[in-house]
Amino acid sequence: MPLEIAGLVKRFGKGAEAKEVIRGLDLSLRKGECFALLGPNGAGKTTTLRCALGLTTPSAGQIHLAGLPVPGQAREARARVGVVPQIDSLDPDFTCAENLIVFAGYFGIRDSEIRPRVPELLAFAGLEGKENARIQSLSGGMKRRLTLARALVNKPELLVLDEPTTGLDPQARHLIWERLRRLTAEGTTILLTTHFMDEAERLAHRLAILDNGRILVQGSPREVIAAHIEPQVVEVFGEWDGSDNQAANGAAAWAAQHAGTLSRRCEISGETAFCYTDDAAPLLAHLAHQPSLRTLHRPANLEDVFLKLTGRELRD
């Protein structure tokens, strides 16, 4: 098993000021799968990864990384794992090739062994011919790709990525997705955290939604969507001229009068009413007579599940 976590608890601080960040988390990755850990800011995603890698000591629970107990044998376990951290940590004093060679040294890989692999690693990251490029000359997307190449110097069994595509343009995101898919196809197990639901939906074989240090749901993207949300969503927004009250003429006023009977569940967020339903036909027929309101009819997705489970309030 690439990673197995049982009953993980992590508290920061001591006594009355102690804060429990992870509150009993179980997770087990299957070989060759891509597993996504989703959750709002502060849910405990990064702390879970830090515990899994043996970079911080759990308050309770058991962790096995690449089959070895962590933190007890974390160093040996990390020899078989690659990590793409959230924050860029490339060596600004080195070229692309030197970054890979020096990093391989931390794994005890000889220069003579890594040097011939450098062009191949750079090509994998879409950085062909960039051996001698300085880090300062790379774009954000190129740096992230080089970090991905760096995480592969030891041919890891498990690749851990903390928000790998945050801040990247769509082109760079698609390239990273394609490479990650290629890695899982070759048998590498992937554990990633992300804020992007489309990323999880596309890449992950299985996922878990985490909030307040607990896993709320776990399963394949399809299973999670099928089990936790109505299949159809109609988003309603814009002006509404059917109101008796001139002051209340938005989608919220419309929803207050009609959404209850026409959808199973309706959530208001800002100017938009999100109507969840098993059968959208009656709702759409009604809306056809409300030309001032605008509508968007779509299948429910992971983001709907995520917002339902973790709420729409802002997190810091």
CA 171 to chain centroid = 18
- Angle formed by the axes of helices 302-310 and 221-228, to 10°? 60
- Determine, following the binding rule CB under 8 A, whether residue 62 of this chain makes contact with another protein: yes
Query: Residue 50: is it exposed, middle or buried by C-beta count within 10 angstroms (0-12/13-18/19+)?
Result: middle
Determine which residue in the list 31, 91, 182, 311 makes contact with another protein, applying CB under 8 A: 91
Total of residues contacting another protein (CB under 8 A): 38
User: Which residue stretch of 32-40, 78-86, 164-172, 219-227 sits at the interface with another protein (rule: CB under 8 A)?
Assistant: 78-86
Closest to another protein by CB, 154 or 263: 154
User: Which residue stretch of 36-44, 60-68, 113-121, 261-269 sits at the interface with another protein (rule: CB under 8 A)?
Assistant: 60-68
Which contacts qualify for 251-255: CB closer than 8 Å, 24 or more apart?
Answer: 251/293, 254/290, 254/293
CA 39 to chain centroid = 8
**Backbone phi, then psi, for 136, in 5-degree steps?**
-60, -25
- Determine, following the binding rule CB under 8 A, whether residue 102 of this chain makes contact with another protein: yes
Determine which residue in the list 32, 61, 119, 219 makes contact with another protein, applying CB under 8 A: 61
User: Which residue stretch of 91-99, 217-225, 228-236, 241-249 sits at the interface with another protein (rule: CB under 8 A)?
Assistant: 91-99
User: Which residue stretch of 104-112, 178-186, 193-201, 231-239 sits at the interface with another protein (rule: CB under 8 A)?
Assistant: 104-112
Closest to another protein by CB, 78 or 228: 78
How far apart (Å, rounded) are the C-alpha atoms in residues 122 and 172? Answer: 15
Task: Report CA dihedral (68, 190, 115, 50) to the nearest 10 degrees.
Answer: -60
Closest to another protein by CB, 83 or 96: 83
Least distance (Å) between residue 56 CB and another protein: 6
How far apart (Å, rounded) are the C-alpha atoms in residues 293 and 75? Answer: 59
Query: Residue 119: is it exposed, middle or buried by C-beta count within 10 angstroms (0-12/13-18/19+)?
Result: middle
- Determine, following the binding rule CB under 8 A, whether residue 228 of this chain makes contact with another protein: no
Closest to another protein by CB, 150 or 308: 150
- Determine, following the binding rule CB under 8 A, whether residue 87 of this chain makes contact with another protein: yes
User: Which residue stretch of 83-91, 169-177, 249-257, 264-272 sits at the interface with another protein (rule: CB under 8 A)?
Assistant: 83-91
User: Which residue stretch of 30-38, 52-60, 123-131, 249-257 sits at the interface with another protein (rule: CB under 8 A)?
Assistant: 52-60
3-state secondary structure of 115: helix
Tokens of 18: 């102690």
Least distance (Å) between residue 109 CB and another protein: 9
x/- binding map, residues 3-42, to another protein, per CB under 8 A?
A: ---------x------------------------------
Tokens of 148: 């991905």
Give start and end residues of each alpha helix (H) in the chain: 45-52, 74-78, 96-105, 111-114, 118-124, 140-150, 170-185, 197-203, 221-228, 251-254, 260-262, 281-287, 302-310
How far apart (Å, rounded) are the C-alpha atoms in residues 147 and 62? Answer: 29
How far apart (Å, rounded) are the C-alpha atoms in residues 242 and 254? Answer: 8
- Determine, following the binding rule CB under 8 A, whether residue 182 of this chain makes contact with another protein: no
Determine which residue in the list 1, 30, 106, 269 makes contact with another protein, applying CB under 8 A: 106
Interacting residue ranges for another protein, rule: CB under 8 A: 12, 53, 55-62, 69, 71-72, 74-76, 78-79, 83, 85, 87-94, 98, 102-103, 105-108, 150-151, 154
